[in-house]
C-alpha cells in the first residue's frame, strides 16, 4: 500500500506493520490474493443493519443488503431512488491489479451499464456528481434498531422496538422472518435455541390488552408501508420476548436471525436477535395483600321453635349443642398488606425470608445485602437502605427464616415457617409486659406461666405460589425483575396440651428484584 494511504491494512508478512486489527460491521474490504488459485474465505459473525457514513467529498467503498439468492440489477435497485440514480457514479472491481481508468470499472454513470448485478457481499466504489447530495438510500426500506449491535433483550428486557421507514414513492410490503442461528465457530457455544418471540398487534380497548402473534422459527409477518411522506410510511414494530418459554438454566444464551425483505426482491436486511435466561438471585421485596381469612363460626342445634338446644346439665353448666364449626374463607372488608422481604441465593439453593435487611456499600467498596447494619461501611451509611417487615417477629440477631420446602421461580412455590414464641415480649400480641393479666407471669411476678395460660405460641406457615404469566402480550413480556402469584398462610395458635386452633389466609403477592447481589451477608 502506498505511503500516506487512507487505507487500513493487514498483511500476513511480519515485516509489515498492520493498521487493520479487526473486522468491523458495515465496512468493505479489498482482499488481494497473491496465490495462483482462487481462495474461498468464509467469515462468520453477527449481521448488522446498514449504517454507513456517506462522504460527499470523495469515493465511498460500500455494499448493499440485497437478497443472497437472487441479486437485482442496478437498473432495478436504483429505480425507486431517482435522485440517487441521476447523480451517482458507481465503479466495480472485477479482480486483478488496480489501474487508473480501467480497474475499477465504471458501471453506472453518464453511460450507465445497469445490467450489472448488485451482489450481496460485493463492495462498490460510489460517488455523487452533486457534491451536496448525501445518500440515505441503501434499499427501499430503512430498518432502525434501539441499539446498533442488534436486537438484544439481554436478561432483563421484555420488549424491543424496530422502526421501518419507506424510502420510496410507492407502497412497500415488508416481510419479517425468524431464522435459526448458524453453527457456532469452533470454541464458541451454540445458542441454546431461538428466542421465543411475539409481535405486538393492535390494542383492544374492550379488554385493555394488546393482540399478539407468535413469530416462530421459519414463520413470518408482513407489514405494509405507505409511500414516503404519507401517514403510515413510518412504522414501529414492537417485538416481545416470552421468557416463560425459555426453559434453560440461568445465563443460557438464545440466538437467531431476524430477516427483513421487501416484496420487490431488492433488499434483505439481517440482524441478530439474542436473549439470555435471567437469573433469580438477589434481594426481592414486595407485598402480599390478604383478601380472604378463614372463619371460626360454631353452628348450633335448634329446637322446634328455632331456639338453640341445651345439652344435659353438668358441673360446668349446660352449654348449647354444637353441630360443627365453619372455617370457610371469607372476604375481608379491606385487603391487609404484608411486607415481604426475600433473598434468593440460586447458586446455593437458599431462599430466606427476612424481618429486615440492609442494602449498601460494604466494608470494602462492594455492594452488600446484609442482616446487620454493622456489615455496612460507616462512611457510606447515608446512602444505605434499611427495609423492614413489621408483621414478622423482631429479634436482635435478625436470623432469616430458611425455606422449609420448594424453590424460587415461575411455576414453583416456596414455604417458610415463622414461629412466634409465647413468651416473646417484643412481638407476641398476647403479651403486655406491664399488665399483670398479660405479662405471662404468675402472681409472684417472677415465675413464667405455662403456654396457653396468658399467651400462645403462634406458628405461621407461609407459602408463596409463583404463577405463570397470563397469556396476553403484556404479561408474557413482563420484565424478569417482577414475580407474582398466590399468597397462602396457615396461622396456628398452640395453647395448653392439645389446644390448637388454625386460621387460613389467602391473597396475592408481588415481588420486585431490587438487588442482584447473590450472597446474603449474615455477619461482619
What percentage of the chain carries pLDDT values higher than 70? 97
Domain identity same for 356 and 488: yes
Answer for the pair 268, 257: CB distance below 8 angstroms, yes or no: no
- Domain final residue pick, 118, 138, 158: 138
Domain identity same for 416 and 480: yes
Domain identity same for 255 and 322: no
Domain identity same for 302 and 451: yes
CA distance 242 to 196: 6
Secondary structure of 34-93 in the HEC alphabet? CCCCCCCCCCCCCCCCCCCCCCCCCCEEECCCCCCCCCCEHHHHCCCCHHHHCCEEEEEC
Domain identity same for 40 and 12: yes
Residue 458 has pLDDT above 80, yes or no: yes
CA distance 127 to 224: 32
Domain assignment of residue 466, given as a range: 282-521
Q: How many structural domains comprise the chain?
A: 3
- Give the distance between the most distant pair of CA atoms in the chain: 124
Domain identity same for 486 and 504: yes
pLDDT at position 311: 84
The upper half-sphere exposure of residue 171, i.e. CA atoms within 13 Å in the direction of its Cβ, equals 8
Residue 114 has pLDDT above 90, yes or no: no
CA distance 166 to 232: 9
Domain identity same for 175 and 219: yes
Measured in degrees and rounded to the nearest 5, phi and psi for residue 276 equal: -115, 135
pLDDT band at 112 (very low <50, low <70, confident <90, very high): low
pLDDT at position 391: 96
Residues in Cβ contact with 36 at an 8 Å cutoff, skipping those fewer than 6 apart: none
User: pLDDT of 31-76, one tens digit each?
Assistant: 888 888 888 888 888 888 888 878 877 788 889 999 988 899 988 8
pLDDT at position 260: 96
Residue 237: closest CA among 206, 273, 266: 273
> Which region among 38-42, 425-429, 502-506 has the lowest average model confidence (pLDDT)?
38-42
Domain identity same for 344 and 474: yes
CA distance 167 to 138: 9
CA distance 342 to 390: 14
Domain identity same for 270 and 229: yes
CA distance 493 to 430: 11
Number of other residues whose CB lies within 10 A of the CB of residue 124:
22
Domain identity same for 233 and 287: no
The mean pLDDT of the chain is: 89
> Which region among 131-135, 198-202, 340-344, 481-485 has the lowest average model confidence (pLDDT)?
131-135
Q: What is the pTM of this model?
A: 0.77
Domain identity same for 286 and 243: no
- Domain final residue pick, 276, 304, 338: 276
Cα distances (angstroms) measured from residue 467 to each of 195, 284, 400, 508: 22, 16, 24, 10
Number of other residues whose CB lies within 10 A of the CB of residue 415:
17
Q: Which residue has the cell 419479517?
A: 176
Pairing assessment for the beta strands 350-353 and 401-402 based on DSSP bridges: antiparallel
Residue 110 has pLDDT above 90, yes or no: no
C-alpha cell read off for 22: 479487526
Q: Which residue has the cell 434468593?
A: 344
pLDDT at position 95: 81
CA distance 107 to 126: 10
User: pLDDT of 350-368, one tens digit each?
Assistant: 999 999 999 999 988 899 9
Pairing assessment for the beta strands 268-276 and 151-152 based on DSSP bridges: parallel
Residues in Cβ contact with 338 at an 8 Å cutoff, skipping those fewer than 6 apart: 287, 288, 289, 290, 389, 391, 487
Domain identity same for 253 and 337: no
Residue 242: closest CA among 46, 465, 468, 411: 468
- Domain final residue pick, 214, 246, 276: 276
Residues in Cβ contact with 406 at an 8 Å cutoff, skipping those fewer than 6 apart: 351, 412, 413, 414, 415, 463
CATH of the domain at 170: 2.60.40.10
Secondary structure of 412-453 in the HEC alphabet? CEEEEEEEECCCCCCCCCCCCCCCCCCCCECCCCCCECCCCC
CA distance 408 to 343: 10
List residues bridging with 340 in a β-sheet.
Answer: 286
Amino acid at each position: 500500500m502506498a505511503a500516506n494511504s487512507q487505507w487500513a491494512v493487514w498483511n500476513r508478512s511480519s515485516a509489515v506493520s498492520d493498521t487493520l486489527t479487526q473486522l468491523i460491521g458495515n465496512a468493505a474490504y479489498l482482499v488481494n490474493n497473491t496465490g495462483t488459485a482462487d481462495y474461498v474465505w468464509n467469515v462468520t459473525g453477527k449481521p448488522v443493519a446498514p449504517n454507513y457514513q456517506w462522504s460527499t467529498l470523495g469515493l465511498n467503498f460500500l455494499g448493499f443488503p440485497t437478497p443472497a439468492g437472487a441479486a437485482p440489477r442496478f437498473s432495478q435497485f436504483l429505480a425507486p431512488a431517482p435522485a440517487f440514480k441521476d447523480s451517482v457514479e458507481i465503479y466495480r472491481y472485477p479482480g486483478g491489479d488496480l489501474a487508473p481508468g480501467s480497474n475499477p470499472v465504471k458501471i453506472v454513470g453518464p453511460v450507465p451499464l445497469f445490467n450489472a448485478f448488485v451482489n450481496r457481499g460485493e463492495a462498490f466504489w460510489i460517488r455523487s456528481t452533486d457534491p451536496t447530495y448525501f445518500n440515505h438510500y441503501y434499499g427501499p426500506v430503512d430498518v432502525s434498531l434501539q441499539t446498533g449491535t442488534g436486537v438484544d433483550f439481554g436478561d432483563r428486557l421484555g420488549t424491543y422496538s424496530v422502526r421501518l421507514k419507506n424510502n420510496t414513492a410507492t407502497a412497500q410490503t415488508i416481510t419479517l422472518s425468524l431464522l435459526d442461528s448458524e453453527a457456532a465457530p469452533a470454541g464458541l457455544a451454540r445458542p441454546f435455541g431461538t428466542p421465543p418471540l411475539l409481535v405486538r398487534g393492535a390494542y383492544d380497548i374492550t379488554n385493555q390488552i394488546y393482540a399478539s402473534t407468535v413469530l416462530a422459527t421459519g414463520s413470518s409477518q408482513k407489514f405494509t408501508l405507505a409511500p414516503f411522506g404519507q401517514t403510515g410510511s413510518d412504522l414501529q414494530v414492537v417485538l416481545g420476548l416470552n421468557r416463560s418459554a425459555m426453559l434453560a438454566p440461568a445465563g443460557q444464551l438464545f440466538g437467531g436471525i431476524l430477516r427483513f425483505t421487501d416484496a420487490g426482491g431488492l433488499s434483505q436486511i439481517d440482524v441478530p436477535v439474542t436473549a439470555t435466561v435471567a437469573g433469580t438471585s438477589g434481594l426481592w421485596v414486595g407485598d402480599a395483600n390478604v383478601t380472604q381469612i378463614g372463619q371460626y363460626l360454631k353452628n348450633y342445634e335448634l329446637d322446634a321453635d328455632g331456639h338453640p338446644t341445651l345439652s344435659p346439665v353438668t358441673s360446668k353448666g349446660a352449654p348449647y349443642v354444637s353441630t360443627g364449626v365453619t372455617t370457610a374463607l371469607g372476604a375481608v372488608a379491606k385487603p391487609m398488606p404484608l411486607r415481604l422481604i426475600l433473598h434468593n441465593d440460586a447458586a446455593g439453593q437458599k431462599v430466606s425470608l427476612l424481618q429486615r435487611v440492609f442494602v449498601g456499600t460494604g466494608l470494602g467498596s462492594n455492594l452488600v445485602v446484609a442482616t446487620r447494619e454493622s456489615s455496612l461501611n460507616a462512611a457510606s451509611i447515608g446512602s444505605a437502605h434499611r427495609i423492614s417487615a413489621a408483621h414478622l417477629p423482631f429479634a436482635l440477631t435478625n436470623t432469616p427464616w430458611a425455606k422449609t420446602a420448594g424453590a424460587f421461580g415461575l411455576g414453583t412455590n416456596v414455604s417458610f415457617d415463622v414461629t412466634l414464641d409465647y413468651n416473646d415480649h417484643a412481638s407476641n400480641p398476647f403479651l403486655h409486659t406491664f399488665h399483670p393479666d398479660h405479662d405471662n407471669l404468675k402472681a409472684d411476678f417472677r415465675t413464667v406461666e405455662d403456654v396457653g395460660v396468658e399467651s400462645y405460641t403462634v406458628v405461621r406457615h407461609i407459602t408463596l405460589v409463583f404463577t405463570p404469566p397470563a397469556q396476553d402480550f403484556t404479561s408474557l413480556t413482563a420484565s424478569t425483575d417482577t414475580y407474582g402469584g398466590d399468597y397462602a398462610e396457615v396461622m396456628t395458635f398452640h395453647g395448653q396440651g392439645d389446644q390448637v386452633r388454625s386460621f387460613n389466609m389467602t391473597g396475592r403477592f408481588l415481588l420486585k428484584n431490587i438487588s442482584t447481589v447473590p450472597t446474603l451477608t449474615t455477619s461482619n
